[in-house]
Structure 1
């Protein structure tokens, strides 16, 4: 079997992309790998970026190491704590991977002997030298802090560990004309309904695919978003125009468990397929910008602000815990900027 493999980032997750000759026997062999997935958008199979898979596909491994029995036990205890506190699967995965990397760096040390100075050393010699992102650095510090507080029962002076300055990036926003072009691109009612719902209610990708038919309250004109980020429920207004679109979709597709299901009844629509739906719409609408599904959510918030909606309401609609998160949309709104006259015009 001839193949090629390379590390990739897929939906912010570290994976290894695998390409090989199109033969059923090869596909069947790849399917046996744990957590293997097919990407409709990339048109390839991908597996978790782990040391085991790096060895399997001959990708250089930074350090091949077997954790000590002490570390294995401690990590299991920490994972049990995270599960009992009902941390999200993504957070558990992120924290556990961060700690494995951290303890691999200090593979000759006992857990109890690691102190603040060691964390600063790890920050400088591993994270910064490898030019890893500031968000990764923050996740690492958070994981270490929580581990030592819960498993080791001691508080490290995390304040002494340098956290990166938060990156001030602006959200990407589409014009109303561009949004309209995307929503009108598909002839498939299901695809139109999915993209329209994301924009019309400011949904995250996982919030959309986690919706159930009973989450639409057409009589009250609201959509119920259950247990979204931060395990919070919230509601969003839903217009009669959108309700009618969803009614047409429901009659033609007759979903059972989830509002949007895959090829088989009762199976949740995949995030990869949803991204592919957007990609097709962008191509049909002749939009060349690197648009993601989250751009529709950003555009929803910005267009609400430009229409005069109070920031406090926008915060509630988006499910933001802090108003500071919502305030970023004031920096991309063009409502007031358009009233400013450039001195260039008077020359």
Structure 2
């Protein structure tokens, strides 16, 4: 569920891991981003830090499909809480966590991601952060503007977004050239 959320939203790994149930707004299908996880810190008072930049504070719109999956995920988490009773760390209220309610470690997530990639037949090395880049490229390919992507990813400026993503997708180049070609045909008629 974590990896699905990352690829569908473009959140940074630490932003997603810091999500608590109250950060999920299923009425408006938004995720509120206002903190990041300090990895391997078990003290709840020190577990969260500020996001990477001022513009990283944001609300990210999610589609109905992801909202439904997250709702089911939260319900399953509540069932686990009930079964584990006193062994469950309730105070974290994290959306993505180990079975006992504590946050995942970086190494656990990386090993899980590598296993998933292998099962999917992906042989090229992809990092978890690569899911953020994949999300941005998919947005570009779907026709989203750089400004929209900048705001969605929480980049400090549109220049950062443009520098990172404008040259990535061959599909965008082909689509743009196709649109230009069609436009020129109409102009010449």
* TM-score (normalised: structure 2): 0.73
What secondary structure is seen at the aligned counterpart in 1 of 2:171? coil
State which structure, 1 or 2, has the greater radius of gyration over its C-alpha atoms: 1
Q: CA RMSD in A?
A: 1.7
Q: Does residue 270 in structure 1 map to residue 91 in structure 2? A: no
- CA apart distance, 1:288: 0.5
Q: 1:111-143: per-residue Cα shift (whole Å, max 9, x none)?
A: xxxxxxxxxxxxxxxxxxxxxxxxxxxxxxxxx
**2:140–2:172 contact (8 Å) kept in structure 1:** no
- CA apart distance, 1:253: 2.0
* Aligned residue in 1 for 2:152: 317
* Aligned residue in 1 for 2:64: 240
- CA apart distance, 1:334: 2.2
In 2: Cα distance, 1:207 partner to 1:272 partner:
17
* Aligned residue in 2 for 1:212: 20
In 1: Cα distance, 2:172 partner to 2:138 partner:
13
In 1: Cα distance, 2:2 partner to 2:131 partner:
11
C-alpha distance 285-336 of structure 1, shift in aligned 2 (>3 A)? closer
* Aligned residue in 2 for 1:261: 97
Deviation >6 Å, runs of 4+: none
In 2: Cα distance, 1:276 partner to 1:209 partner:
16
* Aligned residue in 1 for 2:52: 229
* Aligned residue in 2 for 1:55: none
Gaps of 5+ in 1: 1-192, 342-347
The structure whose residues are more often helix, as a share, is: 2
> 1 or 2 for the larger relative contact order (CA 8 Å, sep ≥6)?
2
Q: 1:31-60: per-residue Cα shift (whole Å, max 9, x none)?
A: xxxxxxxxxxxxxxxxxxxxxxxxxxxxxx
* Aligned residue in 2 for 1:31: none
Which among 173, 176, 182 is matched to residue 337 of structure 1? 173
In 1: Cα distance, 2:113 partner to 2:61 partner:
23
What secondary structure is seen at the aligned counterpart in 2 of 1:293? coil
**1:177-196 paired onto structure 2 within 5 Å:** 193-196=1-4
**1:209–1:271 contact (8 Å) kept in structure 2:** no
**2:19–2:95 contact (8 Å) kept in structure 1:** yes
**1:206–1:271 contact (8 Å) kept in structure 2:** no
In 1: Cα distance, 2:159 partner to 2:112 partner:
32
* TM-score (normalised: structure 1): 0.41
What secondary structure is seen at the aligned counterpart in 1 of 2:31? strand
Gaps of 5+ in 2: 36-50, 82-89, 179-189
What secondary structure is seen at the aligned counterpart in 2 of 1:289? coil
- CA apart distance, 1:337: 2.2
* Aligned residue in 1 for 2:119: 284
- CA apart distance, 1:251: 1.6
**1:119-134 paired onto structure 2 within 5 Å:** none
